[in-house]
Amino acid sequence: MNYAFLLRCAALGLALSTGAALAQTAPAAEKPATPHKKTAAPAKPATPPAETIVWRGDHCTARVVRDLVKQYEAGKQGKVTLQPFSTISGLDAVSSGTADLAGSARPAMLDRPEEKSINFHPVAWDALVPIVSAKNPVSNITLKQLHDLYLGRLTDWQELGGPPGEINLYAVAGPLDGIEYSTRLLLFHAGDQDVSVPRLYVNTEKLEEGIAIDPHGLGMSTLSGVAGNPAIKMLSVEGVAPSTASVADGTYPLYSALYFAARDDDPHHDAVDKFIRYIESDQAKTVLRKHALVPYSDAPGLIEKQDQRVAFIDAHVRPEAVAAAASAPAGGTPVSAPNATAQALERVAPTSELTAAAKERAARAAAEKAAKTQTPDAATH
């Protein structure tokens, strides 16, 4: 037997078994260190959703408000739900609390209980414009003609310088509509004046559609509503064409304000106030100007021109106003002018100094008129 070979095999087996044992007892190789995980930043508190307010009002104002709201919401400043319908529905909804904000093309009617608790915030100046079809050859109307047209005293286009034919007078049927009320307030000193209008429409947009296809039709709309409409012609009034320039300087006599109306105790008062303040921003004014409106603050002198404007209208509409103006002291105006100015300011800014001054002028004019009409006997007692 080869003992040397056996000894070598035994030595080899011992070496192999020893190596395996050492491998089992050796410390495991260190694993690469796990990178340090960053601590997650605390989550930002969620922004509360913007309050949604409800705007309801006439179609005339709604055409402008749509663009204002689109820009307002795009800037994530708030949410506004629009409900175009009518002036009365908007004002009554604000009064009852079913809407937060109303749009109106007329001032407050102070003897309506629903409007006594509502504040009217003027937004812009617009022009009340007589409109006809683009096919109608007439281009101008006087204040007296417009006054008589409403009363049914003027019925033929020949009396306006057109070809013979009956005038189809249009108006909005809704009670105390903004455009109709404001027009009659200027012509008659009473926004709810009864008039003779045979063709009535549900809103101004429908009225405009009717005028556009009726070469014998005539109605009232606004500069902001029909500017750029090729199917409709706006008539000049007393030779002055309606435009933003003639509204801003007061030379166009039938200018009027657009309003937002709201209550101080509205549950969404802060959101309403924010939207009203937004209307005074440069962004909002740009939208107003695109709609052929004069931002209210751009023409501060128009309120102060109320006496002059009302006297001008009275002189053209009422012969007695001309006589009163002629007999008034230098610089004086017919008593109806101070009264109308005081009433207009009372609707817009009841506590302002301008309103107080206008009331004083109206009272003084009334006293002077009463003194002049006293008989000699009455004056001595």
Confidence (pLDDT) at 60: 87
Q: Is the pLDDT of residue 13 over 90?
A: no
Nearest to 126 by CA among 234, 233, 216, 208: 234
Mean pLDDT, rounded, of the chain: 83
The secondary element (H helix, E strand) that includes residue 129 is: strand 119-133
- For residue 11, pLDDT beyond 50: no
The tens digit of pLDDT for each residue in 119-156 reads 999 999 999 999 999 999 999 999 999 999 999 999 99
Residue 375 has pLDDT above 90, yes or no: no
Q: Which residue has the higher pLDDT, 369 or 44?
A: 44
Distance in angstroms (rounded) separating the CA atoms of residues 121 and 67: 19
97-98-100 Cα angle (round to 5): 70
Closest CA to 181 of 98, 83, 254: 254
∠ CA 299-228-226 to the nearest 5 degrees? 70
CB within 8 Å of 340: residues ≥ 6 apart: 189, 306, 310
Residues 341 and 288: their CA atoms lie apart, in Å, by 26
- Every domain of the chain with CATH number 3.40.190.290 lies at 52-299
Q: The domain 52-299 is classified under which CATH number: 3.30.1230.10, 3.50.50.60, 1.10.260.40, 3.40.190.290?
A: 3.40.190.290
Give this prediction's pTM. 0.76
Q: Are strands 236-237 and 79-84 parallel, antiparallel or unpaired?
A: unpaired
Instruction: Give the percent of the chain with pLDDT over 70.
Output: 71
